[in-house]
Structure 1
Amino acid sequence: MFRYVFLFIGLIIVIQSTGIDLSALTVLAGALGVGIGFGLQSITNNFISGIIILFERPIKVGDRVELPELDNLAGDVMNISARSTTIITNDNIAILIPNSKFVSDTVINWSYNDANVRFKIPVGVSYKEDPEVVRDILLEVANKHPGVLKHPGADVLFDEHADSSLNFILRVFTTDYTRTPHILKSQLYFEIFKEFKNKGIELPFPQRDVYIKQFEGGASIDIKP
């Protein structure tokens, strides 16, 4: 650094000794300074954001984070440097994210307070099914899964009467599948489908009822969803 300073001072002395007007060079240097300032703005912002992260610790190495503004990018924090943070996705891809994203954007930190995380799993059945029977089956499947916590335990919400189905939400807490919720969801769906099939629970599908009304001189068809 000092070497470049001395070289710059020496260059100025040489230019002055030759009688060249330095006013034009001063304007040029000012313009270059402004350009460099704008160019360094992003780097400075990320550097300051890195300091904020290190002191406030909204994230730390090992945390599971998700960034909604980056298409819900999710991964484990592997490294936090002065300029960027490295996260590893479930596909084992390392992604370097500018630190400013963790300060200015929304960040979901799955590991911030507690390792126990609750996931919601939507399930639909035919209108002819008994809601209480469906609830019991869903709870039975959840309680048998080794990755679902017993405390706090699973529960089932009767969510809505949809157009073609009765919709429920199975809510489960887990510690083991915090980083791979899609795996837990897939495993539970496999077991739910198996139990529904064994116990004759009908799955919903879009349908229309057609009513034919007879009139004198002809017939009309009334189609209702």
Structure 2
Amino acid sequence: MWQEIKNIFFQVREFLSVPVTSVGNTEITLWTIVYFFFLTIILFYVTGKLRKWIVYKLLEKSKIDLGVRIATGTIIRYVILTVGLIIVLQTVGVDLSTLTILAGALGIGIGFGLQNITNNLVSGIIILFERPIKVGDRIEVGKVAGDVVRILMRSTTIITNDNISIIVPNSEFISSTVINWSHIDRNIRLNFPVDVSFQEDPQRVRKFLLEVAEENDGVLKVPKPDVLFDKFGESSLVFNLRVWTREYINRPGVLRSQLYYAIFEKFTKHGIKIPFPQRDIHFKSSNVPIVIQSQDK
């Protein structure tokens, strides 16, 4: 029985020792391929665990932002992977000097195809270390607006008010104009235009608008809300109610609706008229008689 097992073992070893191809002067056997993939899987597993340990254990008690910690752990993992793969190739007996020309040719070809990916990776490193945006920020880039929920090396995930996840390539944040509503703090000022009739007293209108703002819990008391007499419109006096908010930084439309509802009720209660477009038509005098014909027979 042991002799049969021994014979099977030798047959398998001979099968795995059959050359499949060669790289330079190095013959590549099935055993070489199996051994290479085995070591590579172990390498990826170990570096993945190491990255998590660096991000969530080693640097957890530091004051470093989570995004920077993730970037640091990812870069360390890539460096170890690169060095590890070189060591694995040498371990399985591949002469790296024979791969130099091949690597150069592949590098040129792949380089053209990976320009965008490389650009996004470099942009991701810049974002994670310079921190123009960070997780939790309310931003606008292009036509996309939402909250940043994840920053990775290649892309950033933004969640809109409709709970839609949008994956934005990191290069967009470097090459495009980005509006960050909460870069310094989450206090923002919103402006709400209000039109009233020419017959209304501006001071009275200002008083009621400030009352509406002060009665809303979503409006900050400091800085105080204020009202500007913006202009004389074509058919109305135009005021601008300016309020500060923190709670509605990601839902300005909700605050707008609340304030306009309250303004309408306040104006209706106190007889403040909200105008409608009007035109004055002037007829020039003329000696030509105006004839009105009736269709009744």
- The alignment's TM-score, normalised by the length of structure 1, stands at 0.80
More helix by share: 2
One of 55, 66, 69 as aligned partner of 2:129: 55
* 1:10 to 2:22 alignment: yes
Matches within 5 A, 1:24-43: 34-43=108-117
* 1:165 to 2:177 alignment: no
1:54 counterpart letter in structure 2: L
Structure 2 portions without partners, runs of 5+: 1-18, 27-100, 291-297
* 1:148 to 2:222 alignment: no
* 1:123 to 2:197 alignment: no
Identity %: 57
Structure 1 portions without partners, runs of 5+: 1-6, 15-25, 220-225
1:59 is displaced (CA, Å) by 0.8
User: Deviations 1:51-87 (Å, cap 9, x if unpaired)?
Assistant: 00111011111111111xx22x211110000100001
Partner secondary structure for residue 10 of structure 1: strand
* 1:210 to 2:222 alignment: no
Partner secondary structure for residue 214 of structure 1: coil
CA distance in 2, matches of 1:10, 1:124: 82
1:10 is displaced (CA, Å) by 2.2
- The alignment's TM-score, normalised by the length of structure 2, stands at 0.61
Q: Which has the higher contact order (CA 8 A, sep 6+)?
A: 1
1:33 is displaced (CA, Å) by 5.3
CA distance in 2, matches of 1:62, 1:193: 35
CA distance in 1, matches of 2:254, 2:140: 17
Partner secondary structure for residue 129 of structure 2: helix
Moved more, 122-131 or 46-55: 122-131
User: Deviations 1:96-119 (Å, cap 9, x if unpaired)?
Assistant: 000011111111111111221111
* 1:197 to 2:268 alignment: yes
One of 99, 102, 105 as aligned partner of 2:173: 102
1:131 is displaced (CA, Å) by 1.2
Query: Which residue of 1 is the match for residue 159 of structure 2?
Result: 88
User: Deviations 1:15-49 (Å, cap 9, x if unpaired)?
Assistant: xxxxxxxxxxx9xx95x754432220000000000
Aligned pairs, how many? 196
CA distance in 1, matches of 2:289, 2:282: 15
1:102 counterpart letter in structure 2: F
CA distance in 1, matches of 2:109, 2:240: 55
CA distance in 2, matches of 1:38, 1:158: 58
Cα gap change, 1:199 to 1:38, in 2 (>3 Å): same
Query: Which residue of 1 is the match for residue 207 of structure 2?
Result: 136
1:194 counterpart letter in structure 2: E
CA distance in 2, matches of 1:138, 1:34: 65
More strand by share: 1
